[in-house]
Structure 1
Amino acid sequence: MSLSPCCFKGHFHKGTAKGQIVEIGPDNRRTYVSGPEPAQASGAILIIADVFGISLNNTRIIADNYAEKTGARVYIPDFFDGRDLYTQLDGHSPGSPEAQAKGFKIQDFLAEFHPRDNSYPKIESAAKAIKALHSGKKLGVVGFCWGAPGTMRLGSDDVPADTQADAVAWAHPSLLEVPSDISKLTKPGCFLAAETDAQLPKERREIVEEELCKLAKNGIYTTLRFFPGVEHGWAVRGDENNEYTSRAMRDAQSTLADFFAIELRGQ
């Protein structure tokens, strides 16, 4: 499976982000951070963004929202090395005349920045660095679209303890391998699915449900929430001028913020 056209479209949101850009980890990765300093934070939340990356104002505002609602310090690392989709296309969509004029090809982008093997080392390095900054506190990880595979890996025993998340979440995931990405989960999870989603259609969503039920029998707590009337990307790039979609976006933010508020405090 590759990324779908729905992974590359959406709306850019208004609003002023409150965080700042810092460098973290041994590779000095540019990272948007929001919330209290590590010593005062309730824990840490790592956002693995979609292909629009750290540059998208929408995701920065989501980070600010999580920080405010959870008391955590929230991080959005640049896993695209300064060449996320938003930056490469100057805010234009991949199918636009502007993108065509630049010679942009989605398949080339994905070949360089595949969310699995190509990107796992960067993601794991960032998670380890963030955990070190918050020694003794918990790490939550949420992935949007492109970020889902890395999120699930951090919630499994495929990574060492100094890198592993304490709780994971995703919304409208892309490039998930089901059932294996789900069956390997060993940490609590909160997952949000859209009614219309080429990356997670009904038949794949039902497989996810089956695997989560198996995890429940082993005492691993998860929830899967279905959002009717919305499509892939709604939680980050939905139309804030559409009353229904805007409400669904706010609901998604609150759902995940509440989940992390509980998990990071160990309640």
Structure 2
Amino acid sequence: MSCPDCFSGHVHTGTPKGQVTRLHGLDVYVAEPSAGPVRGIVIIVPDAFGWEFVNNRILADHYAEKGNYKVYLPEFMNGNAAPVWLIETIRTLTTSKSFGDYVKMPYHIAWAASAFIPFMFLNRFGKSWPIVRSFFESVRQNEGARLPIGVAGFCWGGKHAIYLAHGAEIDGKPLINASFTGHPSFLNVPGDIEKINIPVSLAVGDLDSVVTPVVAKEIEKILSGKDGEVKIYVGAGHGFCVRADSVLSDASRQAAESEDQAIDWFTRHFAAISL
């Protein structure tokens, strides 16, 4: 399932601190802790705005610094991320009130469609999943051979995070040891959730129109017999984990709390891993 909420929100004000490199065939933004030993590797599968979106890079920095993880934010979209200007276009469409706004509506709809339709086609799951899985396989076979690996997937990346939690392996080792997803999109519920075999944590807003509270409760019920959790954030909409909330004008508190949720989840499950 998808909707304009996947492409709305707010641009973070800040400067990323990591570095860009080439790794396992992809361009990757890498964030590392400033002090202390690396506890594990966290790979972010981002929202529609991709690996260059400043919100996603700053989130990678926060994970690295707060959790002492090496964090990878790869270019999984081959240059086909949704343009950031779409944020303002969607906001205009969803908040228009004056007569002048409505007169301009066809113009904004046309612009939104010109970005939305190519994104959906070029980044469809059947095309992106092999790329994502291949990267995780390479990490597990190389620098992740003796480190725990986690995935954090958001919106577009959420389905990938859930699929990775199904328990795929390479060389007898799971591709990941723990999964976190914030406001995922495109999920098939209950099917995608029933196949989960790896610890998974979900963060969703109670105003999310993609994973609604009803769907979130269904997911929570399925996970009751597994190592999983669902946390619902009151007042938050789609996109809040990367400070791109479609409802709130300022989702800083909810975003910070979801960061802590992810870090606590990874830390708890990484500590139990012996590779």
Provide the TM-score with structure 2 as the length reference: 0.84
Pairing 1:189–2:200 present: yes
Cα deviation for residue 137 of structure 1 reads 0.9
In structure 2, stretches of 5+ residues that fail to align are 93-106
Instruction: Identify the residue that residue 66 of structure 1 maps to in structure 2.
Output: 63
User: Considering only CA atoms, is the larger Rg found in Structure 1 or Structure 2?
Assistant: 2
Equivalent position of 1:9 in the other structure: 8
Kindly provide the amino acid, as one letter, of the partner of residue 15 in structure 2: T
Question: Counterpart in 2 of 1:228?
Answer: 234
Shift in Å at residue 173 of structure 1?
Answer: 0.8
Question: May I ask how many residue pairs the two structures share in their alignment?
Answer: 254
Q: Give the 3 Å change call, closer, same or farther, for CA 156–133 of structure 1 in structure 2.
A: same
Task: State the identity as a percent.
Answer: 28
Matched, 1:200 2:211: yes
Alpha-carbon distance between aligned partners in 2 of 1:64 and 1:179, rounded to the nearest angstrom: 33
Q: Distance in 2 between matches of 1:224 and 1:46?
A: 20
Aligned counterpart in structure 1 of residue 164 of structure 2, from 132, 154, 160: 154
Instruction: Name the SS of the counterpart of 2:60 in structure 1.
Output: helix
User: For 2:153 and 2:16, how far apart are their aligned partners in 1?
Assistant: 19
Q: How far apart are 1:102 and its partner, in Å?
A: 8.9
1:117 is the counterpart of 2:123: no
**What is the deviation of 1:119?**
0.7
Contact 1:235 1:249 in 2 (8 A): yes
Alignment-mate amino acid for residue 189 of structure 2: V
Structure 1 distance, partners of 2:110, 2:33, is 42
Q: For the structure 1 residues 265 and 17, does the alpha-carbon distance in structure 2 shift closer, same or farther, using more than 3 Å as the test?
A: same
1:76–1:205 distance in 2 versus 1, CA, 3 Å: same
Change (3 A) 1:159 1:177: farther
1:258 to 1:102, Cα distance in 2 relative to 1, 3 A: closer
Q: Is it true that 1:108 corresponds to 2:115 in the alignment?
A: no
User: Is 1:128 the counterpart of 2:137 in the alignment?
Assistant: yes
Instruction: Tell me the residue number matched to 2:270.
Output: 264
Structure 1: distance between partners of 2:165 and 2:54: 27
Matches within 5 A, 1:27-106: 28-35=25-32, 40-86=37-83, 89=85, 93=89, 100=110, 104-106=114-116
Q: For residues 10 and 95 of structure 1, do their structure 2 counterparts lie closer, same or farther at Cα, with a shift above 3 Å needed? A: closer
Q: Residues 231, 12 of structure 1: CA spacing in aligned structure 2 closer, same or farther, 3 A cutoff?
A: same
Asked if the contact 1:94–1:104 (Cα under 8 Å) also holds between the matched residues in 2, the reply is no
1:144 aligns with 2:154: yes
**Amino acid corresponding to residue 30 of structure 1 in structure 2:** D
Q: What are the superposed Cα offsets for residues 132-163 of structure 1, whole Å, 9 maximum, x if unpaired?
A: 22221110001000011111111113454556
Q: CA deviation at 1:262?
A: 2.1
What SS class does the counterpart of residue 167 from structure 2 fall into?
A: coil
**Structure 1 residues without counterparts, runs of 5 or longer:** 216-220
Indicate whether 1:254 and 2:229 are aligned. no
**What letter corresponds to residue 136 of structure 2 in structure 1?**
A
* Cα offset, 1:214, TM superposition: 2.9
1:11/1:237 contact within 8 Å kept = yes
Partner Cα separation in structure 2 for residue 238 and residue 16 of structure 1: 16
TM-superposed deviation, 1:118: 1.2
Residue identity matched to 1:249: A
- Which amino acid in 2 is paired with 1:226? I
